[in-house]
Chain A
Amino acid sequence: DVKVTQSSRYLVKRTGEKVFLECVQDMDHENMFWYRQDPGLGLRLIYFSYDVKMKEKGDIPEGYSVSREKKERFSLILESASTNQTSMYLCASSHPGTHNEQFFGPGTRLTVL
């Protein structure tokens, strides 16, 4: 079974802190994605990566950066957390050969105080 894991289910940070959200997939997928989900807004794409060391901005990249040093790991970084980044963060991975079907991790609920 495809497995996508995220480092934390719940995280509480203070404004201004640097925050790392880690995502690991075990299916050798080329593509990895970070989304945030807010009530009434659905899933919004922050960044994605289609190869090691490659990254592409999604719809809402401001305030975030990413790192993909290894194929299986995709990190989302909040350089200086702000209260408006309180949200549910979901990581996903996909293989181009399966019509880009995405497999999701369990999510990290981040609260920034």
Chain B
Amino acid sequence: ILNVEQSPQSLHVQEGDSTNFTCSFPSSNFYALHWYRWETAKSPEALFVMTLNGDEKKKGRISATLNTKEGYSYLYIKGSQPEDSATYLCAPSGTGANNLFFGTGTRLTVIP
């Protein structure tokens, strides 16, 4: 079991604001880090998978960075929109493991 911490637990922002959240995980035996977006009444949907220290991925207004040496990843949303409202989950996996270890998520609400 990997101890994964996400902060903050929940966040309310105004439409147009930029925001970011943090995922912390043990840096030893790191293999990959996944970010998922989980909208209400839908399935979790993969956003990014990152493997290399210093990796940065971008999808539209959402981007993520990875620091495997210190064990953290940041997810950024630029110019938040109401459709960004969701729970954002991070999930690292360790070497030799077939499963992911999910954090409890950051619940984002974007107020129009």
Which residues of A does B touch, CB under 8 Å?
4, 30-31, 33, 35, 40-43, 45, 48, 50, 58-59, 90, 94, 96, 98-107
Contact = CB atoms under 8 A, between A and B. Distances in A.
B93 A31 contact: no
Given A101-B46, A101-B49, A43 B98 contact: no
Interface of B: 1, 31-32, 34, 42-46, 49, 51, 89, 91, 93, 97-100, 102-105
B100 A100 contact: yes
A33 B93 CA distance: 14
Contact of B99 (A30, A33, A99, A106): A33
Give the secondary structure class of B's interface. Answer: loop
A42 B102 contact: yes
B98 A31 contact: yes
A100 B104 contact: no
A106 B43 contact: yes
Contacts of B105: 42
Nearest to B93: A100
B52 to A, nearest CB: 11
